[in-house]
Amino acid sequence: MTRSTTLIPVSPIRFIGELPSVYVIENRLQMFLRTLRALKQDNNLTAVKLNPHKIPNWRELIEKPDRLKIERRALRYLELLGNKSGMAHLNSDAKAKLAPLRGGLPVSRIETEHEADEIAAALHAEMPWMARATEEVWHGLRASAREGLPGLRFNPLVLVGPPGIGKSHWTRRLAHHLVVPTTTLEATGEPGSFALVGTQKGWGSASPGKLVQTVLSEQHAGPLVIIDEVEKAGEVTSTKGSRHTLTDALLPLLERMTAQAWECPYFQIRFDMSWANWVMTANSRNGLPSPLQSRCVVLDLPGLLPVDEAVLPPSKTEAAPLLGVTPYALDAMIDNRNASPLIRAITDDGPGPTKVRIEKSEIIRFKKDFVTLGDLKKLFSQHHTAVLKRLQQAGVPPVRDPKKLKVYLYRRSEALAVFS
């Protein structure tokens, strides 16, 4: 899969080639001064025919004050040349690490709104229960195409939901469809601020952060940054008492205007990080700082409801046709805790949602005839997307429309034959 890209300047630094040494510049200036004074002493000489190394009394043509002035000007010239590049303060190793920035780096671009629709549709087909997150990204991608932006953008997201619903997996699948590199930060397992943005030289573990490392190693200016369990991020306190939190590091990067001129603590040069996109996950809103929430779209995602918690109409005779299954299949999906189907069917009429009691014999009969995608996932220890792909490749369709049933339900004999 490929995606259109645009080359953008990532940093204002300039690569002006290998700088000469002070000795080379001084020698060049001295030769020029000797030649100039020799020509003034003898009108018969010309600069073309003159060999500077054979000038009579050439040592006497430059005195000590001249040498001191040449030395000062050589140093000043090198200083101005280094300032012009923006890398005068960096050593050769650091400059070599920044070499990928020469000429700019690409960012992925969404050319048409139809392309944005295709990405959102593919992502939704894989993980329909993450529809709210997919929709938010979809709006951002359509806006990027509509406004003719050189790269793709969407609002920073915080996905709040219980563990196990696939927040991190959805983010990686998003990066796959966008064709952008990713970098993942475990907020609970490492000093968040330092791991993300890096540390200044002078610290014992000074290094660039994961964000800059990803841009340089992947040679892409628009990575997708994933921060897991952001609400549990701690803080680091230096020996002098200064606090460093992940939120403090994130805020300037989440604002597009400040991210355009964000300064890396390690390299101490400015980067345009406004094309990086952000997805953070959290198990709860508790612990999410208000400044962080104000700069992100915070989405509360429902958990994957076990079937015995499904909300159904009062009568299974009414509920079964609504979901497109037989009454005994419906009963099994309600009361069997080991089954994986997710059902949420609510009608507007009637006295209100209630649970339906069933007989154990109906559960046994249902389990003999049918199997769910969740059952297959557990049985063969594969991710649900891999199981679904194999079933689709084998031409085994669900028994009923999964959108109406809210679960992928298959005939047991057909499904098991695919994996035998």
- Residue with the bigger pLDDT between 83 and 264: it is 264
The number of beta carbons lying within 10 Å of the beta carbon of residue 11 is 21
For 240, phi and psi rounded to 5 degrees?
A: -90, 0
Per DSSP, the residues of 167-220 read HHHHHHHHHHHHT--EEEEETTTS-HHHHHHB--BTBTT--B-HHHHHHHHHT-
Q: How confident is the model at residue 342 (pLDDT cuts 50, 70, 90)?
A: very low
pLDDT digits (tens, 9 = 90+) for 107-145: 999 999 999 999 999 998 888 888 899 999 999 999 999
210 vs 264: CA distance, rounded Å: 11
332 vs 363: CA distance, rounded Å: 5
Residue 183 has pLDDT above 70, yes or no: yes
Q: Which residues contact 119 (CB under 8 A, 6 or more apart)?
A: 110, 138, 141, 177, 178
Give the per-residue pLDDT at 384: 80
Comparing 129-133, 162-166, 271-275, the range with the smallest average pLDDT is 162-166
For 378, phi and psi rounded to 5 degrees?
A: -70, -40
Q: How confident is the model at residue 262 (pLDDT cuts 50, 70, 90)?
A: very high
pLDDT (mean) for 278-305: 89
Give the per-residue pLDDT at 23: 83
Is residue 289 within 8 A of residue 193, CB to CB? The reply is: no
Give the per-residue pLDDT at 118: 93
pLDDT digits (tens, 9 = 90+) for 75-101: 888 777 766 667 777 887 888 889 899
Q: Which pairing describes strands 235-237 and 224-228: parallel, antiparallel, or unpaired?
A: unpaired
Give the per-residue pLDDT at 356: 40
Is residue 146 within 8 A of residue 113, CB to CB? The reply is: yes
- Residue with the bigger pLDDT between 336 and 14: it is 14
Helix (H, G, I), strand (E, B) or coil at 351: coil
Q: How confident is the model at residue 19 (pLDDT cuts 50, 70, 90)?
A: low
- Residue with the bigger pLDDT between 388 and 58: it is 388
Is residue 363 within 8 A of residue 323, CB to CB? The reply is: no
Give the per-residue pLDDT at 251: 93
pLDDT digits (tens, 9 = 90+) for 239-257: 455 666 888 889 999 999 9
Give the per-residue pLDDT at 234: 66
Tokens of 206: 């000074």
Give the per-residue pLDDT at 184: 92
83 vs 346: CA distance, rounded Å: 68
- Residue with the bigger pLDDT between 38 and 230: it is 230
Q: In the chain, how many H helices and how many E strands?
A: 18, 13
Give the per-residue pLDDT at 326: 54
Residue 340 has pLDDT above 50, yes or no: no
Question: What is the pLDDT of the chain when averaged over all its residues?
Answer: 78
Q: Which residues contact 93 (CB under 8 A, 6 or more apart)?
A: none
Give the per-residue pLDDT at 311: 39
For 99, phi and psi rounded to 5 degrees?
A: -55, -35
The number of beta carbons lying within 10 Å of the beta carbon of residue 206 is 13
- Residue with the bigger pLDDT between 49 and 235: it is 235
pLDDT (mean) for 32-37: 81
Q: How confident is the model at residue 235 (pLDDT cuts 50, 70, 90)?
A: low
Give the per-residue pLDDT at 344: 34
Classify 105-300 by CATH class.
alpha beta
Q: Please name the amino acid found at residue 404.
A: K
pLDDT (mean) for 182-200: 81
Give the per-residue pLDDT at 113: 94
Is residue 91 within 8 A of residue 19, CB to CB? The reply is: no
CA dihedral (359, 364, 369, 372) positive or negative: positive
Is residue 318 within 8 A of residue 347, CB to CB? The reply is: yes
399 vs 407: CA distance, rounded Å: 10
45 vs 49: CA distance, rounded Å: 7
Tokens of 86: 């923006």
CA 274 to chain centre: 12
Quick check: pTM over 0.75? no
Give the per-residue pLDDT at 354: 36
Indicate the domain borders of the chain.
22-88, 105-300, 307-419
